[in-house]
Structures are given as C-alpha cells and as structure tokens.
C-alpha cells in the first residue's frame, strides 16, 4: 500500500466520511482550531490530575492506610488491566458522532470524581474500588476522545493533531508530580489528593469545548449506529497488519517505574546514597517526559510530511539505544540521562505514529473500534512486557531484562513497513 504523505487533497484519496473541512488537506494555515486545542488541553489537565494522585498513592497506602506493597501492586495491576478492556469496550460507543462527545465528557468527569475521592477513603478496598472506577472511565473515554479529535481535524493534519494530544498527555506527566510535591508540603497527602479534582475538572471543560467544535464541523446528522466491534471489517481494512509492529513495540514497552528503579541503581554511588539517587532518578524521569512532549509535537509534523511508518521506526530505533544504555550503562548520571531522553523521544514518536495510523486507515464509522483495539494491544503489551522483564530481572539481571525489551523494539523496527495506511473506503 502507498505511503500517505499528507499532501493536499488534490493529490491523495479523500475519506468519503469526512466533512468538507476535514477533506481540505491544503488548509495548512487553519488546521489548528479550538477543538484540537481543547483535546490537547484535556489530556494535559487530566494527566496532571491523575499523575498527582499516582505519585502520592504509594505513601498514602503505606503511611496513611498502613497497607503493604502487595496491596499497591494488586490495585495498580487490576487498574491497568481495566484500562485495556475498557478501551476495547469504548470503541463501539464512540463510533456514533453524537454519542462520542457524551462518552468523552462523561469519562473525564467520572475519572475526576473517582480519583479525587481517594483522598477521603479510610480502607484499602475503597481505594481499590475508586481507582478501578477511575481507570475504567479513563479507558472508555479514550477512543471517544481520539475519534472526536480526528473528526475536527483536516486529513492532512492528522499527525500534528495527534502530536498535540500526546504532547499534552506527556506535559501533564511533568506537572502532576511537581504539584504533588508542592501540595504535600502545604496541605498533606489527603488534601493534596482531593485537590486533583481541580485540574481534572479543567480537563472535562476542555473536552466539552472540543465536543462543541465537533458538532459545528459535522456536516449532516447520522442515524443511530449498532454497537459492534466490527472485527471482520477491521481485518479487511488492513488494520490487523498494522498491529503487528505495534504489538512488537508494546511487548518491549516497559513501565516507567522499571526505568526509574534501574536509574536509581545506576546512580547509587559516586558519593550518593540511595535517597539521593532516587531523587536524581525522578528528576531525570521528568526530563524523559519533557523529551516525550517535544517528540510528540515534532513527530506529528514529520508524520504529515513522510507518513507514520518513518516516525514509528525512528521511535523504535531510539528505544533500542535507550534500553541498551539502561542495560550496560556505567554508574554515572550522563548515560542515564541520555537513556531517559532517548526513551522519551521513542515513546513520543511511536505513540503519535500509532494513533495517526488508525486515523488514516479507517473510515469514521469504525474508527472508534480501531482506537479501542489499539488501546487493548497497548495495555496488554505493556503489562506483559513489564511482568516478563521483572521476572528476568529477578532471575538473572537487569541487563538481561532490558536486553529482552530491546529485542522486541528491534523486531518492531524491522516490521515497521506494515504501517503504510491507505485512505479508508466507505461502503454503503
């Protein structure tokens, strides 16, 4: 299939499901609208809110509720699994334009309420229930948010729009922990968690602005659609082939907690104790998120010029270098910083390319299903990668664990040729 180069509409097939604004690929000066900025802002504020709570959750469970690390692991494991399953379920819900706006707005609001209420809990099971509810809502809203974003974006700017959304998410991951550190010192852990409601409400307002933009862009009303996963049509569209390199990538996409743990090990020494090494590792992790933010924006620009395959391959390639540094780096902050920056660039490039591939390959009426399948693959792959790497780390060494992940990234680089989307074809 031919690579999509983001040329003007006259030189590329148009999506018959697109509105006139969407089809105008030559509208370079007016592709950025309030709706796209609303989606990016929603991702920023939402991520800032739940990262604030995520960074405080370990100390809240252990120091306030007197639970052990096993409780934290169980809560996070179940919540992460729910994200993937709920993304799959959210796909059919987001196919109908009028429904996707409600799902997105409701998902952001429910995530905000459930996350903030953790601050008033007194028992571990209450934390588990609210965390699971928040993460399920977060998963269901994701396909709706992504399809909403595509519906208000000209086809030639899909990459840049996805880059703005990913950049907002990564920037929120910088701000959230910083807010947590500031608020804990001022109001304590419980009240700091409650304050997460404020940025999360801003996220709900921002996605509502995007939904209003989508209603203005929609040319003609559509009838009610049947709730279905459309697996057969997704397979015929070529989306299954594109998931091969994506799956390989996610099988090697380790949780950032493993990166921080490895960095802490490597930074211990040179006059640093464990506490100082951990603090420096967290600081370097912030640099990782900053690199991911910039890479998302740059990657979106490159995708609209060269197509998602090149950007995805670049992301996988720099991840190989990052993991090899984490595996074999000397005990010095310089190589560790380089590893974090490379990993940030890798995730910024790859996630933007993955989202854009779905947007370019599928018509609007089944695009939500595509985003749902993508979310499931991402969540399942990340969970499997982290569990497997943790076992290899415990049985052998961190070098073996990170080398294992690097092999999967290399496999995704080799298979990246499958990310060659064609214009979607609508059927009657």
Q: How many CB atoms lie within 10 A of CB 270?
A: 11
**Average pLDDT of the segment spanning 277-284:** 81
pLDDT at 10: 36
pLDDT at 238: 61
> Lowest mean pLDDT: which of 178-187, 276-285, 364-373, 398-407?
364-373
**Average pLDDT of the segment spanning 214-239:** 59
The span from the first CA to the last CA of the chain, in angstroms, equals 23
Each residue's pLDDT tens digit, 317-346: 999 999 999 999 888 889 999 999 999 999
Q: 405: pLDDT confidence band, cut at 50, 70 and 90?
A: very high
CATH architecture for residues 26-219 = Up-down Bundle (1.20)
How far apart CA 285 and CA 260 sit, in angstroms, is 7
Kindly list the distances between the CA atom of residue 400 and the CA atoms of 249, 388, 403, 405, in Å, as whole numbers in the listed order.
18, 11, 5, 9
Reported as type and span, the H/E element at residue 152 is none
Kindly list the distances between the CA atom of residue 305 and the CA atoms of 156, 160, 222, in Å, as whole numbers in the listed order.
9, 10, 32
Residue 175's φ and ψ, nearest 5 degrees, are: -70, -40
Q: 217: pLDDT confidence band, cut at 50, 70 and 90?
A: low
**Average pLDDT of the segment spanning 98-110:** 85
Counting residues of the chain whose pLDDT is more than 70, the rounded percentage is 84
Q: 232: pLDDT confidence band, cut at 50, 70 and 90?
A: low
How far apart CA 159 and CA 304 sit, in angstroms, is 5
CATH 1.20.1250.20 in the chain, residue ranges: 26-219, 233-428
How far apart CA 352 and CA 164 sit, in angstroms, is 9
Each residue's pLDDT tens digit, 26-69: 445 588 888 899 999 999 999 999 888 887 887 788 778 888 76
- Given a cut of 50, whether residue 403 has pLDDT beyond it is yes
What's the topology of domain 233-428?
A: Growth Hormone; Chain: A; (1.20.1250)
Kindly list the distances between the CA atom of residue 29 and the CA atoms of 48, 112, 150, 411, in Å, as whole numbers in the listed order.
30, 35, 17, 38
């Amino acid at each position: 299939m031919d690579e999509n180069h983001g040329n003007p509409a006259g030189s590329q097939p148009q999506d018959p499901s697109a509105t006139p604004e969407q089809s105008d690929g030559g509208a370079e000066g007016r592709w950025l609208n309030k709706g796209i900025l609303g989606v990016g802002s929603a991702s920023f504020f939402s991520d800032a809110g739940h990262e604030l709570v995520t960074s405080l959750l370990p100390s809240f469970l252990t120091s306030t509720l007197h639970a052990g690390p096993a409780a934290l692991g169980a809560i996070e494991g179940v919540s992460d699994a729910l994200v993937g399953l709920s993304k799959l379920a959210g796909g059919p819900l987001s196919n109908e334009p009028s429904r996707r706006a409600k799902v997105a707005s409701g998902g952001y609001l429910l995530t905000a309420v459930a996350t903030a209420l953790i601050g008033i809990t007194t028992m571990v099971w209450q934390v588990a229930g609210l965390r699971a509810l928040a993460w399920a809502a977060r998963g269901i809203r994701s396909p709706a948010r992504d399809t909403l974003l595509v519906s208000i974006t000209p086809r030639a700017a899909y990459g840049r729009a996805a880059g703005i959304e990913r950049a907002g998410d990564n920037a929120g991951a910088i701000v959230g922990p910083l807010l947590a550190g500031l608020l804990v010192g001022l109001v304590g852990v419980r009240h700091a968690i409650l304050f997460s409601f404020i940025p999360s409400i801003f996220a709900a307002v921002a996605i509502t602005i995007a939904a209003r933009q989508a209603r203005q862009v929609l040319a003609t009303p559509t009838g009610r659609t049947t709730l279905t996963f459309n697996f057969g049509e997704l397979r015929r569209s070529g989306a299954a082939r594109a998931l091969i390199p994506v799956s390989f990538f996610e099988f090697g996409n380790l949780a950032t907690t493993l990166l921080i743990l490895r960095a802490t090990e490597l930074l211990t020494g040179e006059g640093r104790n464990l506490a100082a090494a951990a603090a420096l590792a967290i600081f370097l992790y912030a640099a990782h998120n900053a690199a991911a933010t910039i890479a998302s924006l740059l990657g979106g620009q490159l995708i609209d010029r060269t197509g998602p395959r090149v950007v995805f391959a670049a992301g996988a390639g720099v991840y190989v270098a990052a993991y090899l540094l984490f595996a074999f780096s000397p005990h010095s902050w310089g190589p560790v910083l380089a590893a974090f920056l490379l990993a940030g660039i890798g995730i910024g490039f790859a996630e933007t390319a993955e989202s854009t591939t779905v947007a370019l390959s599928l018509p609007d009426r089944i695009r939500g299903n595509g985003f749902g399948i993508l979310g499931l693959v991402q969540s399942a792959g990340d969970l499997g990668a982290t569990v497997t790497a943790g076992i290899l780390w415990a049985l052998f060494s961190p070098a073996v664990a990170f080398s294992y992940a690097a092999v999967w990234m290399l496999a995704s680089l080799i298979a990246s040729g499958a990310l060659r989307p064609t214009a979607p074809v609508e059927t009657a």
